[in-house]
Amino acid sequence: MKLPTVLPYFAAALLTLLPALAQSPSRPVPGKPEPVPPFLQGKPPAPEPTNPPARPFHDSRYGVSFTIPPAWNITRRDGDVSTFNLDARNAAHTAQMRAVASISFNPHPYSTFSGALFYYSVTPNVTANQCAAQAIARAPHTVSTTQVAGVPFTHGYDEHGGICTESRDEIYTTPHNNVCYRFDAVINNFCGGDVSGVKDITERELNDVRRRMQSILDTVRFDD
């Protein structure tokens, strides 16, 4: 076949392929980001567990109730998941732990977070000043007054640790009828994140855990 006869067919085929080449995904389009390959795309976060479901807690003897969030456990026995006088270090020696709720999963598995505990306790036969003093751990820790279920509570904190802050306890106390009502929101961490392959817990992650604890405190109610 002669060359002049082949050229028209070649030109026609090229004109047919040009639109397809222009739309080929392998050619970057100016001003448009290139698609990320599937193996480089991040996986969406796993949904949080929902078992056990949210449920109410009520202490009929002292007239206190609150709601346990989903995926939290609760026990009335000291020592089942923690030791009260080790976490609530400045509680009176006569304090009675009535319940403790503990988170059953790690919302920040790549951090040094190691647990969250919400304690409810009472101390009979104490004065108002003795009750308020339980929220004052060590100077210069600040103390304030906050409302819980419409009742004024003294709010202070205690924290301890060697290399890092291993535990921080937000303390809330109020007196009523010679009984000191107390709530402790304890966040525990472990030190040495770089050694263990995880990162030290960030302030954003800590605030997330604090919000979870506050959500329990927000449901506290007192019997009439």
Q: How does pLDDT run across 136-166, given as a tens digit for each residue?
A: 866 566 789 999 999 999 999 998 876 777 8
Q: What is the pLDDT of residues 170-182, one digit of tens each?
A: 999 999 989 999 9
Q: If you average pLDDT over every residue of the chain, what do you get?
A: 84
Pull the structure tokens for residue 207: 């605030």
Lay out the sheet containing 179-189: strands in order across.
72-75, 96-103, 113-124, 179-189, 167-176, 151-160, 144-148
pLDDT at position 6 over 70 = no
Pull the structure tokens for residue 94: 């006569």
CA pair distance 50, 47, nearest whole angstrom: 9
**CB contact at 8 A, 102 and 117:** yes
Considering the segment(s) 55-138+145-222 as one domain, its CATH architecture is Sandwich (2.60)
Whether the full predicted model's pTM is greater than 0.75, yes or no, is yes
Q: Of 12-21, 160-169, 191-200, give the lowest mean pLDDT range.
A: 12-21
pLDDT of 21 = 46
CA pair distance 116, 105, nearest whole angstrom: 10
Q: What is the pLDDT of residues 205-222, one digit of tens each?
A: 999 999 999 999 999 999
Contacts within 8 Å (CB) and 24+ apart, 193-200: 193/111, 193/112, 196/112, 198/109, 198/110, 198/111, 198/112, 199/110, 199/111, 199/112, 200/111, 200/112, 200/164
User: What mean pLDDT comes out for the span 74-93?
Assistant: 94
Backbone φ and ψ for 120, nearest 5 degrees, come out as: -125, 125
User: What mean pLDDT comes out for the span 95-120?
Assistant: 96
Domain boundaries, the chain: 55-138+145-222
**CB contact at 8 A, 82 and 109:** no
User: Taking the C-alpha atoms of 173, 100, 111 and 204 in order, what is their torsion angle to the nearest 10 degrees?
Assistant: -40
**pLDDT grade for 12, boundaries at 50, 70 and 90:** low
pLDDT of 69 = 97
pLDDT of 11 = 52
